Amino acid sequence: MDITDVIHYDSLATPAALSRKNDAFGQVLTAVTRHTSGGELSFLHRKVGCGDSGSPPAPPTAGSPPVAPAEGPAPVQADALYRQYCASCHGPDGKGGGPAAAALPVKPADHTNPAVMGKISDAELFKAIKEGGQAVGKSPAMPPWGGTLKDEQIRALVAHVRSLAKPR
């Protein structure tokens, strides 16, 4: 198993394989967040294909209208993207208790809490997913996914995250 196996959460793996990956993922996150600077962390994310080494297009700003739901991935695909890229830290249910969360210095956001999520604009969510947590003043342990995901996939993830905070 190499670091790319650890970073890219595989939602189709067996529970035993996921457990091994999540244990390794937690160890990597702990080591990385304790022993690297922000610049080194960005370099590591780019090295494993999680970030973009060029200047990304400007995301929507705080004054921009809300990000419209994407026409790209269907909700089922947005859910699969969430499981693949977000669930290891935020949990498959979005409550912030994913398998790697225990190894993080800051608990991941609870995407199901309407009071918390209501304070975060769609533009901020988009920027956090695209450029990483540090770009919006959050944890630098959240990697930038802009080098991996297309903007329409990020918009679909924003819509999915919003759906988690709605009463069911």
* Cβ atoms within 10 Å, residue 47: 12
- pLDDT tens per residue across span 116-131: 999 999 999 999 999 9
Instruction: Locate 121 and state its tokens.
Output: 């604009």
Residues 6+ apart with CB under 8 A from 106: 138, 139, 141
- Write down the pLDDT at residue 166: 77
Question: CA–CA distance from 147 to each of 57, 92, 130, 153 (Å)?
Answer: 11, 23, 8, 12
Q: Where are the domains of the chain?
A: 3-164
What is d(CA 147, CA 50) in angstroms, rounded to the nearest whole number?
Answer: 6
Half-sphere exposure of 38 (CA within 13 A, CB side): 10
Q: Which residues of the chain have pLDDT under 70?
A: 1-76, 167-168
116: left (phi over 0), alpha (psi -120 to 50) or beta: alpha
Count of CA atoms in the C-beta half-sphere (13 A) of 135: 22
Extract the tokens encoding 138. Answer: 């959050």
* Backbone torsion region of residue 137, taken as left when φ is above 0, otherwise alpha when ψ lies between -120 and 50, otherwise beta: left
- Please report the sign of the dihedral spanned by the C-alpha atoms of residue 52, residue 56, residue 61, residue 64: negative
What pLDDT score does 71 carry? 56
Predicted pLDDT of residue 66: 56
Contacts of residue 113, Cβ cutoff 8 Å, sequence gap at least 6: 165
pTM: 0.58
Model confidence pLDDT, tens digit, residues 137-160: 999 999 999 999 999 999 999 999
